[in-house]
Structure formats: C-alpha cells, structure tokens
C-alpha cells in the first residue's frame, strides 16, 4: 500500500453535480461562464439540487421556501449574543449551524423529503446567521430577513440595515454563483465523508465549514486581503512580492490543485473588481492585484484562483475582511448540500487505508518498568 499525499489525482467518487474537465468548470453540464453571465444564484441552487434549471414557477416556489425558512430561532440569536465579540467568524458559523440542528425537530429524519427541506433551511439561514453576528458583535440588534429579496440582496440588507445599491446586489449574486460548487474540493469531501456514515445533514455541513475555514481553502480570500492591507499601496507591491518570492513564501490566492492553466472563475472576479473600482473612482486595490498577478505569474507561472480577486471585490462592496470566508460558505452550502443528497442516494461508507510508517514489533513494557 502506497499513500498518495493529499490524495492528488485520486478519483474518490462519481458525481453528476459539477465537473472540471480540461480546465473548464461546469455545474450539471452548464459552463460556469454562462451561469456567471446569465443565471441568478437561486437558479444555480435549484440546478445543483435538482439537476435542471428551474422554470419560472419552480424558481418562485424555491424562493418562497427560502423566505419561509430564512429567520433563525431566537434561541440561536440569544446564544450568539453570548459568543465573544472577537470570535473567529467561521468558528461562529460552525457553532451556530450546530446549534440550529438542536432546534430542528427533523434534524435526524433521513427521508429524502426532510433532507431537501433541511438543505433549503441551511441555504436560507446561513446568510441570516452571518449578518446577525456581524451586527451583534457591534452591539446592534440583528435585522430580520425580508421576504421577496434574493439571497444576495437580503444578506447585504441584513448586514447594514439599508437597501443595498443594485450594482452591489448584482456583484454579490455573481460572486455567489461563482463559488457555489467545485467538484470534490476539501470541504465538500469532508461533508461527504461525514454523511457517508449516515450521520445527519447538519453534521455534514458543520464538517464542511470546518474544512473551508483553513487558509489553504476558503480562508485564502481573507489572507489575500490581509496581504493587500499589509502592502498598502501600488508603489510597494514590487518590493513586497519580490521579497516573498525570494523567501519562497506562498502568495495567497495563487495556485490550485486541479487548475494548472488558470481558474476559470478568476477572470469574472477580476472584471468585477475593475468595474467596482471604476464605479468607486478608486482603482488602487484592482491595480495592486493585477500587478501582483503580473509578478507571480511572470516569475512562478502560478495563476490566480477564485480567492484572489474576491478579496478586492468584497472590500469594495464594503464588507469586513473576516466575513469573506463566511460569504464563501453562504454560496458553497448549496454545493455541499447537493453533494450530501447525492451521497445519501448512493451511499457507501468512505473508509480509505493508510500506509503505515510507524515502528513495528514493539515489545510491551509494563508501566512500572518504563
Ligand atoms: C491551492 C493549493 C493549496 C494547492 O496545493 P497543492 O496542490 O498541494 O500544490 P503544491 O503546494 O504542491 O504546489 C506545487 C508547487 O507550487 C508552489 N506553490 C503553490 N501555490 C503557491 C503559492 N500560492 N505561492 C507560491 N508558491 C506556490 C508550491 O510551493 C510548490 O512548489 P515546489 O514544487 O517548488 O515545492 C496551493 O496552491 C496554495 O497553498 N495556494 C495558496 C492558498 C490558496 O490560494 N488557496 C485557495 C485555493 S482555491
């Protein structure tokens, strides 16, 4: 038995949800470029869960169900008020989702119908949790979700309490479409491993949130913004990046396990970053980012991934840095739950082997003689 470090190149399951073939990403066979251009996030959620794009009635019904479930139990809000105000936002999300399960009488109902309902609940409630905590930690009361709003619109509204501008809603919606699913990424795999024991959907999503939190996965978007803040201005980019490259340090937001010729999502986020910069009359973050890309791609051949331009996009939307990874989760919960439903449909426990590298033939010595 020989281990493959990081399971690189290992095909661990079949799936009909999303594919990455020759650098092209599709959800259920639809190119991400078309979905980013023409579909709303809710249409994509429907597509991921049910396998086809919705007609108008199907979409309206899904949106009504999301509205129905978007409020979170007051007990969960009260618990969040007891969390430390400086708590890591992904840890807050992980804890609050775990708490949600305690108040859902159907949490352990394993029927397909109950699990689809729980997927809708999770999709509806994650934005509410994050927006609520963002306000609670500032000593403000959470704002209830409004019926009739898209997920992107509601999230921005619940964060600030003000009606967001249309261009902000469009940008947020597109960011959600781009992050919704990504084949067998680390957090999705974590979700599938958990539910393959026939554990419940909440446990699967909690596992996924824990995996997404790390800086090599979803946490990279925050790390990119920390880097941009540390650099501070366009004229300092070259020295900063050169030093990192010379020291063989990682530049966050670059590289990918699967894409070697570039992440197809990055160009959409780059365009959004430029457009938002133009709208704001301040292109510095965009220009710093493109200069970093020139240097890193020029010298290392590494291309930006989905997290690189997300950082400047979210910042220009006025979102605090530590909500970037939770926003990734707001979107990816659609993919996680689609994969969980698929895993339940054709389940076998996921239990690989390890190549043993420890000592062998040890002689047991009783504790008194050690
Ligand atoms: C995404 C990532 C985890 C993939 O990891 P992986 O498939 O195990 O790739 P490796 O770490 O083996 O990288 C291969 C080579 O490229 C280098 N490399 C990869 N990403 C790099 C980066 N962001 N900056 C500098 N060098 C990088 C590695 O050091 C390694 O070089 P070596 O062969 O000289 O040792 C990795 O590219 C990374 O850490 N990127 C930064 C974090 C990030 O943006 N994550 C979000 C992913 S969407």
Give φ, ψ of 301 to 5 degrees. Answer: 75, 10
Buried b (16+ CB within 10 A) or exposed e, 259-280: beeebbbbebbbebbbbbbeee
| Displacement of CA 213 from its chain's centroid (Å) | 9
pLDDT at 185: 98
Instruction: For residues 181 and 109, give the distance between their C-alpha atoms in angstroms, rounded to a whole number.
Output: 25
Residue 217 appears among annotated catalytic residues: no
Find out whether 277 and 328 touch, Cβ atoms under 8 Å.
no
Does residue 1 register a pLDDT over 90? no
Q: What is the pLDDT of residues 30-51, one digit of tens each?
A: 999 999 999 999 999 999 999 9
DSSP for 106-165? Answer: TTT--SHHHHHHHHHHHHHHHHHHHHHHHHHTTTPPP-PPPTT--HHHHHHHHHHSSPPP
Q: What mean pLDDT value characterizes the chain?
A: 97
Residue 307 appears among annotated catalytic residues: yes
Name the more confident of 1 and 360: 360
| 106 CA → ligand 1 middle, Å | 41
> Average pLDDT of 237-247?
97
DSSP-assigned letter for residue 21:
E
Residues with CB under 6 A from ligand 1: 6, 216-217, 220, 250-257, 300, 302, 305-307
Q: How confident is the model at residue 272 (pLDDT cuts 50, 70, 90)?
A: very high
Rg (CA), the chain: 21
| 8 CA → ligand 1 middle, Å | 13
Q: How confident is the model at residue 260 (pLDDT cuts 50, 70, 90)?
A: confident
> Average pLDDT of 89-97?
98
| Displacement of CA 246 from its chain's centroid (Å) | 31
255, 269, 293, 303: which to mutate for ligand 1, most atoms within 8 A of CB?
A: 255
Q: How confident is the model at residue 154 (pLDDT cuts 50, 70, 90)?
A: very high
pLDDT at 113: 98
Find out whether 135 and 68 touch, Cβ atoms under 8 Å.
no
Residue with tokens 């095909």: 11
Give φ, ψ of 304 to 5 degrees. Answer: -65, 145
Catalytic residue (choose from 179, 182, 217, 256): 256
pLDDT at 15: 98
Instruction: For residues 33 and 49, give the distance between their C-alpha atoms in angstroms, rounded to a whole number.
Output: 19
pLDDT at 212: 98
Contacts of 351 (CB under 8 A, 6+ apart): none
> Average pLDDT of 96-125?
98
Q: What is the pLDDT of residues 169-203, one digit of tens each?
A: 999 999 999 999 999 999 999 999 999 999 999 99
Find out whether 15 and 184 touch, Cβ atoms under 8 Å.
yes
Q: Whose CA is nearest to atom 5 of ligand 1?
A: 257
- Long-range CB pairs of 53-62 (<8 Å, 24+ gap) are 62/120
């Amino acid at each position: 038995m020989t281990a493959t470090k990081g399971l690189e190149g290992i095909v661990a399951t079949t799936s009909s949800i999303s594919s990455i073939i020759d650098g092209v990403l599709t959800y259920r066979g639809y190119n991400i470029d078309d979905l980013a251009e023409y579909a709303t996030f809710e249409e994509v959620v429907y597509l991921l869960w049910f396998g086809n794009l919705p007609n108008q009635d199907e979409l309206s019904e899904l949106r009504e169900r999301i509205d129905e479930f978007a409020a979170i139990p007051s007990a969960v809000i009260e618990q969040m008020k007891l969390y430390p105000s400086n708590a890591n936002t992904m840890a807050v999300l992980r804890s609050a989702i775990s708490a949600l399960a305690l108040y859902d009488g159907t949490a352990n109902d394993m029927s397909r119908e109950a699990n689809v309902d729980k997927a809708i609940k999770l999709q509806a409630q994650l934005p509410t949790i994050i927006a609520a905590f963002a306000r609670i930690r500032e000593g403000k009361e959470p704002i209830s979700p409004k019926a009739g709003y898209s997920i992107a619109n509601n999230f921005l509204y619940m964060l600030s309490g003000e009606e967001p501008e249309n261009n902000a809603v469009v940008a947020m919606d597109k960011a959600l479409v781009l992050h919704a699913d990504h084949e067998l990424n680390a957090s999705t795999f974590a979700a599938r491993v958990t539910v393959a024991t026939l554990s419940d959907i909440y446990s699967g999503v909690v596992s996924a949130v824990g995996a997404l939190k790390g800086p090599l996965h979803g946490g990279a978007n925050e790390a990119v913004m920390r880097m941009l803040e540390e650099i501070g201005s366009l004229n300092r980019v070259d020295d900063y990046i050169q030093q990192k490259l010379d020291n063989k340090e990682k530049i966050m937001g670059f590289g990918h396990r699967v894409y070697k010729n570039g992440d197809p999502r990055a160009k959409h986020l780059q365009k959004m970053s430029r457009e938002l910069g133009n709208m704001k009359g301040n292109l510095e973050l965009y220009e710093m980012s493109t200069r970093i890309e020139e240097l890193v791609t020029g010298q290392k051949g590494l291309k930006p991934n989905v997290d690189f331009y997300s950082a400047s996009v979210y910042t220009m939307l006025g979102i605090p840095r530590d909500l970037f990874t939770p926003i990734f989760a707001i979107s990816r919960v659609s993919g996680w739950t689609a994969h969980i439903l698929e895993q339940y449909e054709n389940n076998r426990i996921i239990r690989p082997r390890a190549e043993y590298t420890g000592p062998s033939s040890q002689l047991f010595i009783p504790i008194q003689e050690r």
